[in-house]
Structure 1
Amino acid sequence: MQLDLYRVFYVTAMEKNFSKAAKKLYITQPSVSHAIKQLEESLGIQLFVRTSKGVTMTHEGETLFGYISPAFGLIDNAERKISEIKSLKCGHVTIGGSDSTCKHFLLPHIQTFQDMFPEIQIKLQHGSTPKILDKLTKGLIDIGVIHLPIDHSQITLTEFLSISSTFIVGEKYKNLANNHLSLEEMLNYPIISFSETSSSRRFLNQLFQKQGLNVKPDIEVGSVELLIECAKIGMGIAFVTKELVLKELSEGELFEVCLNEKIENRKIGLITRKEIPLSVAANKFIKHLVEISH
């Protein structure tokens, strides 16, 4: 209650008029007069002197105003900042994902988001799925973008994209694109894949295991770019996300190996911390991603 009285005093001192103060505070003029009287009685001093144009502060009133003005100024600034955050005139979002995910699936959408909300700062952090999960649970990122499936009790999951996987070769093994191969026949050729800790590698292992086969890639790489280059120069058959090599396939730099069986599509999901609300900016960004993907 006392803080409310000081707020009435502060606004009245700024406006130098009871009527104007009442209008700004959304209360009646008698309520302003009553609040000032209460504060004066509580402090045992007179704070204002009435004039023909309004009110002026007494010496004691000016002293009190000098002390409380910075506090209410900070509150006013805080309210303005919150208003800017709500209207997306400021804020930041930190997103984590693998290098290829960020480059191929996130950057185009980040650009369209920043075109709409240029004041929002977007930060990117890269890493493997375990690292992204660790960063998320520690509060170092707001949103993680990872390959599914994932089972983690502390996260909320939203499906983002559906992607397809395929095997590709360069000119050296171009003949494999003309024939339908089984997974077992494919083991007769060098296999290029990501490292064993990657979600892509786990998916590859599961694909062969369903046929009772065990795959041991001859070449392991750490980036999509290196995997593509290895395939181009004829080092073997590379397992890759098809959407990442559409350009090379259309231009005849790479060739898709035909399999006897269909490879199920994979999912990319957006993860956030469970029971921890997103900031206004982060919530708007994740809605932007979901809307675009659908």
Structure 2
Amino acid sequence: MQLQQLSYFLAVARAQHFTRAADTLGVAQPSLSKQIRVLETELGAELFSRARGNITLTPAGEALLPLATRILADVDSARLEVQELAGLRRGRVRLGATPSLCSSLLADALRRYHDAYPGIRLLVEEGGSRDLVRQLTRGELDLALVILPLADDTPLATTPILREDLMVAARIDDTSLPDRPHLRITDLRDRPLVMFRQGYDIREATISACRQSGFEPRFAVEGGEMDAVLRFVEVGLGVAVVPSTVLAGRPGLRGIPLSGERTPHRPGSTEHGLHRIVALAHRKDVARTHASAAFQATLETFLHEAADTDTLPPGVNSLLPPLHRSRRDA
């Protein structure tokens, strides 16, 4: 049984005439009659009574009529729904992002996307990079803004988009820190740290950097999310290593850039600011939806414009390749 045959059947049932039905469909009458006969053979029953040219439905035809009507209506609904999804009139995007991005750049990019595609439902999951990678791998997210590098065996494709400087967040009135424009990891030795919960990449990066510098970090409190960590620093529980973007709107805190250690065995080595790379990730083995592809395009355009107008937050740099001039002017 084919959809075309059901369509021919409905046309004949409504017109009660083979030639008029063929004219309505724009097909040759012999072709229509042949398809009706094939359908009757498939079903094992005649659908029309053809006595003296008077076309009426048989009991089998009466039974098929509502079913065929519903089947073709469902096909039309499916076609319309897919066209709406393809045309970005409806759908959803499940996006994961780190708290530093949720509280800064991401909000503006989401607003732009929502204005362009108001029918797309946005679901945002905030969490540490490791948690987001796990959720993305399980298929619980469509896209995620994660921190590189990822494990070699990850099934994710990544596009680096931003570099965030890392800072030591301290109370604005904390005078115990060295009076230098940059701090080193070793300046955190024996200093109480406010530490993120398990799952935050910055937790592992901070602990690893401390151990590579020859000491074990000391925690005043650990286990918080981003807002909690910053609040703990504000009340004087300790200092924290955070991305530069989260310090905006925190007048009670100041950020001191965190530098890497010199490498003595490398001639001419110098200190460089510590940073992390943010990438947009998706599953390699899952086809991208139109809605998620449109979000990536919107985000990249937003970041290009922010970089061109120098409106990226302090300590943040775009890693996207420059747009071709003709594309940018289009």
Asked whether the two chains share a fold, i.e. TM above 0.5, the reply is: yes
Q: How many angstroms apart in 2 are the aligned matches of 1:14 and 1:29?
A: 15
The residue type paired with residue 193 of structure 2 is I
1:274 partnered with 2:284: yes
Give the total of aligned pairs.
283
Contact 2:189 2:215 in 1 (8 A): no
Alignment CA distance shift 1:259-1:134 (3 Å): closer
Q: How many angstroms apart in 2 are the aligned matches of 1:259 and 1:59?
A: 83
Q: How many angstroms apart in 2 are the aligned matches of 1:50 and 1:106?
A: 72
1:153 partnered with 2:151: no
Q: Counterparts of 1:81-230 in structure 2 under 5 Å?
A: 81-151=81-151, 152-174=153-175, 176=177, 178-180=179-181, 181-195=183-197, 197-230=199-232
Contact 2:96 2:141 in 1 (8 A): yes
Structure 2 unaligned regions, length at least 5: 260-270, 305-330
The residue type paired with residue 257 of structure 1 is I
CA offset at residue 96 of structure 1?
A: 2.8
CA offset at residue 269 of structure 1?
A: 2.2
CA offset at residue 13 of structure 1?
A: 4.5
In the superposition, the TM-score normalised over structure 1's length comes to: 0.79
CA offset at residue 169 of structure 1?
A: 1.6
Q: How many angstroms apart in 2 are the aligned matches of 1:70 and 1:259?
A: 66
Give the percent of matched residue pairs that are identical in Structure 1 and Structure 2. Answer: 22
Alignment CA distance shift 1:188-1:132 (3 Å): closer
1:283 partnered with 2:300: no
Alignment CA distance shift 1:83-1:29 (3 Å): farther
Structure 1 residues 102-144: Cα deviation after superposition (integer angstroms, max 9, x where no partner):
3434333222211111111112234443433333333222223
Q: 1:236 aligned to 225, 235, 238, which one?
A: 238
Q: How many angstroms apart in 1 are the aligned matches of 2:209 and 2:234?
A: 24
Q: How many angstroms apart in 2 are the aligned matches of 1:84 and 1:11?
A: 27
Q: How many angstroms apart in 2 are the aligned matches of 1:84 and 1:263?
A: 47
Q: Counterparts of 1:4-153 in structure 2 under 5 Å?
A: 4-11=4-11, 13=13, 17-22=21-26, 31-32=31-32, 34-36=34-36, 39=39, 43-44=45-46, 46=48, 58-60=56-58, 63-151=63-151, 152-153=153-154
Structure 1 residues 200-220: Cα deviation after superposition (integer angstroms, max 9, x where no partner):
111212333443444333332
The residue type paired with residue 133 of structure 2 is L
- What SS class does the counterpart of residue 90 from structure 2 fall into? coil
- What SS class does the counterpart of residue 162 from structure 1 fall into? strand
In the superposition, the TM-score normalised over structure 2's length comes to: 0.71
Of 255-264 and 143-152, the range deviating more from structure 2:
255-264
Q: Which runs of 4+ in 1 moved over 6 A?
A: 47-51
CA offset at residue 266 of structure 1?
A: 0.8
The residue type paired with residue 107 of structure 2 is L
Q: How many angstroms apart in 2 are the aligned matches of 1:167 and 1:50?
A: 94
Q: How many angstroms apart in 2 are the aligned matches of 1:139 and 1:189?
A: 40
Q: How many angstroms apart in 2 are the aligned matches of 1:105 and 1:50?
A: 76
Q: How many angstroms apart in 1 are the aligned matches of 2:14 and 2:300?
A: 47
Contact 1:164 1:242 in 2 (8 A): yes
Structure 1 unaligned regions, length at least 5: none
- What SS class does the counterpart of residue 227 from structure 1 fall into? helix
